[in-house]
Structure 1
Amino acid sequence: MFISNHFFSRQTVLISLMLVSPLVFSATDSSAGQAQREQAAQKVAQQFMKQLGGHLKKEMKSNGPVAAIKVCKDVAPEIANELSLENGWRVTRVTTKTRNSMLGTPDLWERETLAAFEARAEKGESYSAMKQSEIVDEAGKSYYRFMKPLAVQPVCLKCHGSNEQIPEKVQAELNKQYPFDQARNYKIGDLRGAISIKQPMDTPLKKKF
């Protein structure tokens, strides 16, 4: 029985497409999933900063910087918890210079990302333009991870600046609340830390953004 080379050629192409297509679609699906999560994560980060900034400004204006300490200590974690529950994320703030080492200490991925942010800033890139978004494997499970850097603003120096910049009453309260405080002596534009967002890839987005 004679079968033309043209037949084998067509069969070879079809088999190749069948083998390659799942890989192509898998890559496309993964890319789409990451893109959607990145869009959602950026909006969650924006919501966090908008809410926290609003509380800080209100407290600073009404009761001064001593009262604002409570906003970062109590209100910020509450906002993060609310956003985590609403969106199915783990939303938190991390820094290498913590006030309370029990809160905000970065894991390895977060620490490496913070270092990468600083390296990019040294080359002239603005923190406001930076973000990190990727899918990582941890203990055999895939997670979507996102970080947005937080730079020190002028208002931050009332609590995070030098001893000359931090009012005495604020220093006294900080010493009382945070006996192992590492979060001082910052300058405007320094990297204070980052908003960190994490979600298992097998967990669907709760909200449509």
Structure 2
Amino acid sequence: MKRNSRMRSAILLFLAVFAAGAQADEGDPRQYVEEARGIAQEFAAELKGELEKAIEEEGASRAIGVCGEAAPDIGARLAGETGWAFGRTALRVRNPRNAPDSRERAVMTSFQQQHAEGIELQGMERIGIVEEGGLRYVHYMKPIPTQQVCLTCHGGDVKGPIQEALAKRYPADAATGFQEGEMRGAFTFIKPLEGR
């Protein structure tokens, strides 16, 4: 996905998603949680399937291209179907175009802190309303846990042809050295709320 410039510069007014006694209204992001959660699961499952297939059929070095090419294609298709704009970001990025803005960085830092305190990444998410220039958006983020399939290109023992392919395609790569279960990055989705 091309990163939305509005997403980068927006001021996020995070709301307490599960505040006790709060009533959902059209400015309350809670009404979008299930929709965003389902789309995130679909995106992650489809990308994982593409990666596993590429590794099995063409070898591990092919996974580098799949992650860089399939993810935007999956995101574009889902965006057309759902109205959500999709992206991936991380505190340690492989592709500089996926670098987080300050809001995304703060959310991922919060995810990491919660994980260090023993909270499972799979249950974490953040949703809020972004306001910019009179326009409003729902913004949803969910951490991406490092799975076994991710270690092929993001683990601590990346060598040989994979390391060479990464250096050629992503010379500023900072996205290796992960262990299974660590936060690899986060999905970051927005949906416009014009007219609401």
For normalisation by structure 1, the TM-score amounts to 0.78
Which of the pair is proportionally richer in helix?
A: 1
Larger RCO, structures 1/2 (Cα 8 Å, 6+ apart): 2
Unmatched tracts of structure 2, length 5 or more? 1-22
Matched, 1:168 2:163: no
**RMSD between aligned alpha carbons?**
1.7
* SS of equivalent residue, structure 1 residue 180: coil
Structure 1 Cα separation of the partners of residues 81 and 195 of structure 2: 13
Specify the alignment match of 1:123 in structure 2.
117
The answer to whether residue 47 in structure 2 is matched with residue 47 in structure 1 is no
Q: 2:71 aligns with which of 67, 71, 76?
A: 76
> Are residue 199 (structure 1) and residue 194 (structure 2) matched?
no
Q: What is aligned with 2:142?
A: 148
Shift of 1:203: 6.3
Matching residue within 168, 176, 181 for 2:173: 181
Counterparts of residues 126-141 of structure 1 (less than 5 Å): 126-141=120-135
- 1:48·1:80 contact (CA, 8 Å) conserved in 2? yes
Could you tell me whether the CA contact under 8 Å between 2:52 and 2:149 is conserved in 1?
no
**C-alpha spacing 1:159/1:117, structure 2 compared with 1 (3 Å):** same
- Where structure 1 has 5 or more consecutive residues not aligned to the other structure, the ranges are 1-26, 205-209
1:35 is aligned to 2:30: yes
SS in 1 for 2:107: helix
Aligned length: 174
Q: Which residue in 2 is equivalent to 1:3?
A: none
Are residues 1:91 and 2:83 paired? no
Sequence identity (%): 34
> In the aligned structure 2, how far is the partner of 1:100 from the partner of 1:110?
16
Letter in 1 for 2:164: A
Which of these two proteins has the greater Rg computed from alpha carbons? 1
Instruction: Tell me which stretches of 4 or more aligned residues in structure 1 moved more than 6 Å.
Output: none
Please state if 1:58 is matched with 2:53: yes
Kept in 1, the 8 Å contact 2:142–2:186? The answer is yes
Q: How far apart are the structure 1 equivalents of 2:179 and 2:141?
A: 22
Deviations 1:86-143 (A, max 9, x none): 11111111112111212x1112221111011011111110001111111232333322
Is residue 158–residue 167 contact of structure 1 (8 Å, CA) maintained in 2?
A: no
- Over 3 Å counting, the alpha-carbon distance change for 1:203 and 1:119 in structure 2 is farther
